[in-house]
Amino acid sequence: MKWLLLFLGLLAPLHAGQKIYRIMPVGDSITEGGSSFSNWRYPLWERLYTAGYLVRFVGSRSTPSRMGDLAHEGYGGKNSTFLAATVPANFKKHPADIVLLHAGHNQFADQKPVPQILKDTESLIRDFRKVNPQVTVLLAQPIPSGKLPKYSYLPELGRELGLLARHLDQPASRIIIVPQAAGFDPVKDTVADLVHPNATGAAKMTRRWFDALVTVMEKPPAVYQPELLPYKSPAKGDLTLHVFRPAGAATPARPAIVFFFGGGWQRGTPLQFYPECRALAARGMVAISADYRTAFSHGTSAFEAVADGKSAIRWVRAHSSELGIDPHRIAAAGASAGGQVAAAAGIITGLDDATEDRTVSSRPDALALWYPVIDNGPLGYGDAAVKGRYQEISPLHNVSAQSPPTLFFLGTKDPLVPVATAREFESRMKNAGVRCEVKLIEGGGHPVYAYQDGPSTLRDDMLNDCVIFLRAGGLLPPD
C-alpha cells in the first residue's frame, strides 16, 4: 500500500534513515537546572530540533521541561570527584554517543582543586570509552563566577582542561574543548548568586554547545525555518504561530492548517508538528504550528488552552489576506490534548476570550485529530482537570450539525482513549449529518509514535491519510 501512495504523488517519508544521537549532559547544578535560575538543556534540544537534528538526552535523572522530562547526569552541589564515582555506572545503563561535560564548580580556591578536577575528568573520559570506544566528549571550560575568591581557580582550570582535551583527543573518540567561559560575564549572565546562569547566560551556553555539536554530528537532511508571528499576548509573553509557507509566489487562495501540540494541557511544544507543517507546505498549504498556554509555561488549565486554540484560528482567519490563504479553507489538527484543543475550536460554543472580535469565526472548516482526548466527561480523560465542567469543554458532549468534518486517528491499544470513544464520537457526528472518518492504528498506543525520534512508518502513513482526507474535502488540490 505504501508504494502505491508514493506513486500517487503523496508524501515521502519525513526523516527516513536519519541518525538519532544519544546525548548525556554531565555536571553539577548548572547542568541539572533549578527553579531559581535558567538552564540550557531544553533550549539546546529546541535549537537542535529546529536545525533538523534528531537527539535524545539520556541519563539516570530527569527534570521537567516544556516538552516533557529531559534526562541528564547533573547533580546540584556535587563536585568532580562525586561525578567520577557516580556517573560511569549510569553511563553503562544509558550509553551515549556524545557527552556534554561541564564540571569544576563546588570546590574552594584555597583547596587548590585543579589537579584533582583534571584527574577526575580524565577518569570519567576513560570510563566512558570503556563502554563506548567511539564516544565523543565535548569538554567545557566552565563558566566563570563572580563569587570570589571561592571560584578564582576557574580560569586556571579552563586553561588546563584545554591542554587535557588536546592530550586525550583521538580520531575515533574525539575530546573537544568547548569555550563556555568565553564571552560569559559573571555579573550580567548570572542570577543574584553570581554562579548560576540567568536567561541570557543559559542562551550563551546553548550557543556554545550547539556550535560544538554541529561539528561532530552528520548534517541533517533539512532545516526548519518557520516564520514566527505573535497572535496573542497573555501576561507571560506573546503566543506565536510558527508559519510554514509554500514555495513560490503568494496567492490569495491557499488552504491553511493549524496544528496544536499534545501534552495533557500540561506541557508541549509547537516543534512537535514541524515535520508535518513542512510536508504540507510543500503540498501548497500554509501550515502552522501554534503555541498555546499550558500549566508548565503559564500555570493555566485546559480552559485557557481551548481559548487560545480558538484565538489562533480566529487570528489566522482575520489575517487571511496577509497570510495569502482562503478564509473558508482552514483546517485544525492536533495530537492528544492538542487534538482536544483543535476539536473544541470547531465544536464548542463559548470559551472565547471576551476581548476578541467574535464576528470572526474561530471554527475551522475541517479537523484532523491525532489520538485526541475528545471525551472530557466522567468516563473520559481530564474530568478532574476540568473540575466537573466537562459539558462546557468536552467535544464529545457538544457535537452538532455545525461541527466540522473530522478525521480521527486512534491506536487500538491507546490507554487513554478507548476505541469505543472514537466510535461513539463517529456515531454522534454521523447522526448530526457530519462527515467523520475513524482510522484505527493496530497496536498503536498513546502517542502512536514518538515525534522526537523523527522516522516512523506510522507517522508517514498517518500524514498521507490526512492528505487524502484534506483533498476529499477540497482543502488540498490534487497534484
Domain of 465: which CATH number?
3.40.50.1820
Question: Which CATH number belongs to the domain containing residue 149 in this structure?
Answer: 3.40.50.1110
Last residue of a domain, one of 213, 246, 261: 213
Q: What is the pLDDT of residue 16?
A: 58
pLDDT higher than threshold 60 for residue 7: no
What dihedral angle (degrees, nearest 10) is formed by the CA atoms of 293, 296, 300, 303? 60
Average pLDDT over residues 433-461: 94
Q: How confident is the model at residue 172 (pLDDT cuts 50, 70, 90)?
A: very high
Pairing status of strand 406-411 against strand 68-74: unpaired
Nearest to 262, CA basis, from 464, 447, 408, 50: 447
Q: What is the pLDDT of residue 444?
A: 96
CB neighbours of 397 closer than 8 A, spacing ≥ 6?
375, 376, 377, 390, 391
Same domain (yes/no): 233, 202: no
pLDDT higher than threshold 80 for residue 155: yes
Length of the chain counted residue by residue: 479
- 15 in a structural domain: no
- 218 in a structural domain: no
- 400 in a structural domain: yes
Average pLDDT over residues 271-284: 96
Last residue of a domain, one of 213, 235, 250: 213
Same domain (yes/no): 238, 204: no
- 6 in a structural domain: no
Q: Which amino acid is at 472?
A: A
- 10 in a structural domain: no
Last residue of a domain, one of 213, 239, 257: 213
- 111 in a structural domain: yes
Give the tens place of pLDDT for each residue, 233-249.
999 889 999 999 998 86
Q: The pTM is what?
A: 0.93
The vertex-288 CA angle with 238 and 321, nearest 5°, equals 90
Measured distance between the N- and C-terminal CA atoms of the chain, rounded to whole angstroms: 19
Average pLDDT over residues 266-292: 97
- 376 in a structural domain: yes
Range of lowest pLDDT (117-121, 203-207, 355-359, 401-405):
355-359
- CA-based Rg of the chain, rounded to a whole angstrom? 25
Q: Which amino acid is at 278?
A: R
- 478 in a structural domain: no
Average pLDDT over residues 180-200: 98
What domain range is 56 assigned to? 20-213
Domain count for the chain, please give it. Answer: 2
CA–CA distance, 20 with 90 (Å, rounded to integer):
20
